[in-house]
């Protein structure tokens, strides 16, 4: 089985308003004696949704931190348009209201408290959050918290979104609803997205391409193109088929 | 409710013990005698309470300013942290009864040595709890702000400072509880007023009931200060789950 299978490597660099997407070339990263990533290569074209799937502890979160510039690789090159992180478990600040959390990046960018709040609140209707502008995170449901966190990530205004297990903490039903919701939100507001998940089905439903990582140290096992029409339905035969292929690829090394 | 019942039981037993002749009333006055002294000596104790309360409040204010500056300074600057941490910790190892007379020698019989003493006792819990609170911020939230390209100052203002508030209030409540100790020791070292001074003179005159009354006032002062900070905490830290 090939370890590197890159179908769309030659994306024209300046096809999209000067954006170049994300490109990782032979990236390795270790923390002390623990090798998190070992020679990882893949790329995401502008406005492409790339899912990174693999078992727990295969360095998926490390990969996102490299793309966001929070870490430097030990070897290899990470080239990315400006990227913003949506950390695991939403990362909402408990003392801020929903609208202040959503507008946090705007405040960091220099907007006044009132301006950041107003800009964030404008989007609350589209995100199904009307009436919860002043609610604190602990007063919101899990799905609402994720939507606030996603709005906050969008409002950071960066071309690349790094989503780290965005629905990992949700119950199965809410996760299904949120996957549909995210697919819709990204269709309306296309961005380059790196979606880290351990849920292969989620990857198939949302992504244009799936990068499958091995257990630690994370290596690219296989890259799967998901050339299915949207919206995708989990019961669809093609979705199930691709899910099986991805699981088999992951299972063959376990 | 349980606290009230327990207090009544203790007071009742105490009263019975003294009235029954189990203990000499000169050594241990009955609660009723303490209450009586509190009332009859009110013209004496009232001004002393005002003096001590003023010392404690001024000392706490100084402790909060100093503790906040040290807590933030040690968090922000590694060299400041290395330079100050031994001194800050060592300052708490100096016995209060030893240092209090030195302050009086240096600063006289006025307000200054008392305020300084209270500040010395109280700045430590404020500084250390604030410092720990600033450090123990959710690492994911730090990454979030870094991915927003936040500056050091923005991270401090938007993330670390609010996150450190609950710990800081813990420090403030500890400081409130121990503040009166500093004031009393400073008064003992040299003073002509205050509850500590009243305690000394009452002891010297074998006015045990009055000494107990003064102690009761110190106790109430500490409880009130603690309550004030607890109240402020409830108003400010509205996001944490209240017990």
Backbone angles phi, psi at A11, to 5 degrees: -80, 130
CB contact B145 to A (< 8 Å): yes
In order along its 243 residues, chain B shows pLDDT tens digits of 888 899 899 989 888 888 888 788 778 888 888 888 889 888 888 999 999 999 999 999 999 999 999 999 999 999 999 999 888 888 888 888 888 888 888 888 888 999 999 999 999 999 999 999 999 998 889 999 999 999 999 999 999 999 999 999 999 999 999 999 999 998 888 888 889 888 888 888 888 888 888 999 999 999 999 999 999 999 999 887 654
Model confidence at A12: pLDDT above 80: no
As a whole number of angstroms, the longest Cα–Cα distance in chain A is 56
3-state secondary structure of B24: coil
Burial readout A186-223 (b: 16 or more C-beta within 10 A, e: otherwise): beeeebbbbbbbbbbbbbbbbbbbbbbbbbbbbbbbbb
Residue A16: band (very low, low, confident or very high) from pLDDT cuts 50, 70, 90: low
- Closest residue on chain B to A87 (Cα): B140
Q: Are A119 and A155 in contact (CB under 8 A)?
A: yes
Residue among B211, B56, B190 at smallest CA distance from B118: B56
Mean model confidence pLDDT for chain A: 87
Burial of B186 (0-12, 13-18, 19+ CB in 10 A): buried
Question: Does A107 lie at the interface with B, CB-CB under 8 angstroms?
Answer: yes
- Inter-residue contact A122 to A74 (CB < 8 Å): no
Tell me what pLDDT residue A13 has: 43
Alpha-carbon distance A113 to nearest alpha carbon in chain B (angstroms): 11
Q: Distance from CA of residue B171 to its chain's centroid? A: 10
Nearest-by-Cβ selection for A138 from B154, B237, B239: B239
pLDDT, residue A14, reads: 47
In B, minimum Cα distance to A105 occurs at B148
What does the block give as tokens for A83? Answer: 């990227």
Mean pLDDT on A100-108: 94
| Closest CA–CA distance from residue B153 to any residue of chain A (Å) | 10
Chain B residue with Cα closest to A71: B143
Q: Per-residue pLDDT tens for A222-237?
A: 898 888 888 888 888 8
Write out residues 43-72 of A within 8 Å (CB-CB) of B.
65, 68-70
Across the A/B interface, how many CB contacts are shorter than 8 Å?
60
Residue A10 has pLDDT above 50, yes or no: no
Separation CA B158–CA A53 (nearest Å)? 33
Distance from CA of A181 to the nearest CA of B (A): 23
The reported pLDDT for the residue numbered A3 is 36
For residue A8, what pLDDT is reported?
Answer: 31
pTM above 0.80, yes or no: yes
Q: What is the DSSP letter of A27?
A: E
Please give the ipTM for the structure prediction: 0.82
Taking the C-alpha atoms of residue A168 and residue A175, their distance in angstroms, rounded to an integer, is: 8
Distance CA B17, CA B9 (A): 12
Classified as helix, coil or strand, A33 is coil
């Amino acid at each position: 089985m090939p370890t590197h299978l890159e179908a769309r490597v030659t994306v024209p660099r300046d096809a999209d308003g000067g954006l170049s997407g994300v490109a990782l070339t032979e990236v390795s990263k270790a923390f002390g004696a623990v090798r998190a990533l070992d020679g990882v290569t893949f790329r995401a074209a502008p406005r492409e949704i790339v899912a990174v799937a693999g078992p727990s502890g295969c360095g998926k979160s490390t990969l996102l931190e490299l793309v966001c510039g929070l870490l430097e690789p030990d070897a290899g090159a990470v080239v990315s348009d400006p990227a913003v992180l949506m950390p695991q478990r939403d990362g909402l600040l408990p003392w801020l209201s929903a609208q202040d959390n959503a507008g946090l990046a705007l405040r960091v960018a220099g907007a006044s408290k009132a301006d950041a709040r107003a800009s964030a609140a404008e989007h609350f209707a589209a995100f199904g959050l009307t009436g919860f502008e002043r609610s604190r995170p602990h007063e919101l449901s899990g799905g609402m918290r994720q939507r606030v966190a996603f709005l906050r990530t969008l409002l950071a205004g960066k071309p690349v979104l790094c989503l780290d297990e965005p629905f990992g903490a949700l119950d199965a039903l809410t996760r299904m609803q949120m996957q549909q919701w995210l697919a819709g939100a990204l269709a309306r507001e296309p961005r380059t997205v790196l979606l880290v998940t351990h849920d292969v089905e989620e990857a198939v439903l949302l992504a244009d391409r799936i990068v499958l990582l091995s257990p630690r140290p994370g290596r690219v096992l296989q890259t799967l193109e998901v050339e299915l029409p949207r919206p995708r339905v989990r019961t669809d035969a093609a979705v199930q088929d691709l899910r099986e292929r991805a699981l088999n690829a992951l299972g063959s090394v376990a | 409710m349980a606290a009230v019942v327990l207090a009544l039981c203790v007071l009742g037993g105490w009263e019975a013990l003294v009235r029954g002749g189990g203990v000499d009333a000169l050594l241990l006055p009955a609660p009723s005698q303490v209450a009586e002294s509190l009332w009859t000596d009110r013209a004496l104790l009232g001004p002393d309470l005002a003096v001590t309360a003023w010392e404690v409040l001024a000392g706490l204010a100084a402790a909060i300013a100093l503790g906040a500056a040290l807590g933030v300074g040690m968090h922000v600057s590694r060299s400041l942290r290395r330079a100050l941490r031994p001194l800050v910790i060592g300052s708490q190892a100096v016995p209060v009864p030893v240092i209090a007379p030195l302050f009086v020698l240096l600063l006289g019989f006025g307000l200054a040595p008392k305020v300084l003493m209270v500040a010395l006792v109280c700045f430590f819990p404020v500084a250390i709890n604030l410092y720990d609170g600033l450090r123990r911020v959710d690492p994911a939230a730090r990454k979030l702000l870094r991915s927003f390209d936040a500056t050091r100052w923005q991270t401090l203002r938007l993330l670390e400072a609010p996150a450190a508030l609950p710990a800081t209030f813990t420090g403030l409540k500890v400081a409130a509880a121990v503040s009166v100790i500093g004031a009393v020791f400073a008064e003992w070292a040299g003073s002509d007023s205050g509850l500590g001074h009243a305690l000394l003179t009452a002891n010297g005159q074998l006015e045990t009931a009055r000494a107990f009354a003064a102690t009761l006032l110190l106790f109430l002062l500490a409880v009130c200060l603690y309550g004030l900070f607890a109240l402020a905490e409830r108003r400010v830290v509205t996001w944490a789950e209240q017990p």
